[in-house]
Amino acid sequence: MYKILRAEMLAANIYCMDVLAPRIAKHCLPGQFIIAKVDEYSERIPLTICDYDGEKGIITIVFQPIGASTQRMKELKQGDSFMDFVGPLGQPSELTKEDPEELKKKRIVFVGGGVGTAPVYPQLKWLHEHGVTADAIIGARSKDLIILEKEMSAVSNLYLTTDDGSYIRKGMGTDVLRDLVQNQGKQYDLCVAIGPMIMMKFVCLLTKELGIPTIVSMNPIMVDGTGMCGACRLVVGDEVKFACVDGPEFDGHKVNFELAMKRMQMYKTEEGRKLLEYQEGDTHHGGCGHCGGEK
Ligand code: NAD
Ligand code: FES
């Protein structure tokens, strides 16, 4: 069992928990994720790690209840436990593999959207600890949906924006990035975009135009997070990849977002899942238990 040391609501329908998981906290790196399971009846929920403390053995997760299992998760309080908490899973961010001295020469900008802000934080923190201070553009629908403002501003040059203009400025993260590059003389060698699929797609369209290489995190299309269900199958360039095993981070300019978003929609219906199973045969393993394709 994995004890919850802190449970709080960060913003409307966005929750944060510190979970005692020493082995994961000791070995994880930014970009990786965990799978949480509340009890034997709940589904497995893949969540990107928001923060970790190797010495205290704590993993911080941030989530937005959308289905039955995440609703169940939100009801857990300090002192309760997860039945399963597995990780670290997926590949660490490519940035963590680079020489920090080389990273210091790079001008890096992060674009985070909504709940996707949470997985941006450990990357910024890691960079900051290695002497690199990146720019971070964080967009939320409105002021009450902004999360981690204090934490993010401590480790980055933070630009906040809201879709409705209720805080700092009006517009999306893409508007701020365009403004910084085209009007304020900023230049970037790398962009990392983490948020809703539609945001990552539009960030990539913009960074292609601006000539900025871009990494995206394809966590939103994961279902079981173990390479078993086939849900997170992606086309990246001319290759087929699985977000949970090969990623979650990929070259955003090579990701086929149209296919990925269509697939996400299909996974929501029984008929859509059956069609994917039929079309993909052996590469759609059906191990998720959602599509009836278990072998
Ligand atoms: P949301 O719909 O409130 O959008 C958040 C922000 O994204 C917006 O405020 C805006 O700034 C930006 N955005 C949205 N559409 C855009 C567009 N067309 N162009 C430019 N920017 C745009 O999102 P939310 O409800 O906070 O977050 C939920 C989504 O975040 C889910 O889809 C979830 O899967 C995703 N998410 C992704 C990751 C990841 O690793 N990529 C992690 C956590 C959550
Ligand atoms: Fe990757 Fe199921 S989420 S295969």
Which ligand 2 atom is nearest residue 228's CA? 4
Q: Minimum-distance ligand to the CA of 113?
A: 1
Torsion of CA 129, 147, 120, 241, to 10 degrees: 160
The response to whether residue 113 sits with its C-beta less than 6 Å from ligand 1 reads: yes
Res 266: pLDDT: 76
Residue 258 lies in a domain: no
Nearest CA to ligand 2 atom 4: 227
Q: What pairs with residue 1 in β-bridges?
A: none
- Distance of alpha carbon 85 from alpha carbon 20, whole angstroms: 10
Q: How far is the CA of 230 from the centre of ligand 2 (A)?
A: 5
Q: Which atom of ligand 1 is nearest to the CA of 161?
A: 11
In angstroms, rounded to a whole number, what is the distance separating the alpha carbons of residues 105 and 161?
Answer: 27
Residue owning the nearest CA to atom 35 of ligand 1: 196
Q: Domains in the chain: how many in total?
A: 2
Q: Could you state, in chain order, the average pLDDT of each consecutive group of 10 residues for the chain (295 residues)?
A: 96 95 97 94 90 97 89 94 95 94 96 94 97 96 95 97 96 98 97 96 98 95 84 93 93 96 76 68 50 39
Q: Per the structure block, which two tokens stand in for 231?
A: 């849900």
**Nearest C-alpha to atom 26 of ligand 1 is from which residue?**
114
Assign residue 12 the CATH number of its domain.
2.40.30.10
Closest ligand 2 atom number to CA of residue 223 = 3
Domain hosting 202: range is 94-217
Please report which ligand is nearest the Cα atom of 280: 2
Model pLDDT, residue 268? 67
Pocket test for ligand 2, best of 34, 43, 218, 223 (most atoms within 8 A of CB): 223
pLDDT value, residue 227: 83
CATH number at residue 116: 3.40.50.80
Residue 241 domain-assigned (yes or no): no
In a domain, 18, yes or no: yes
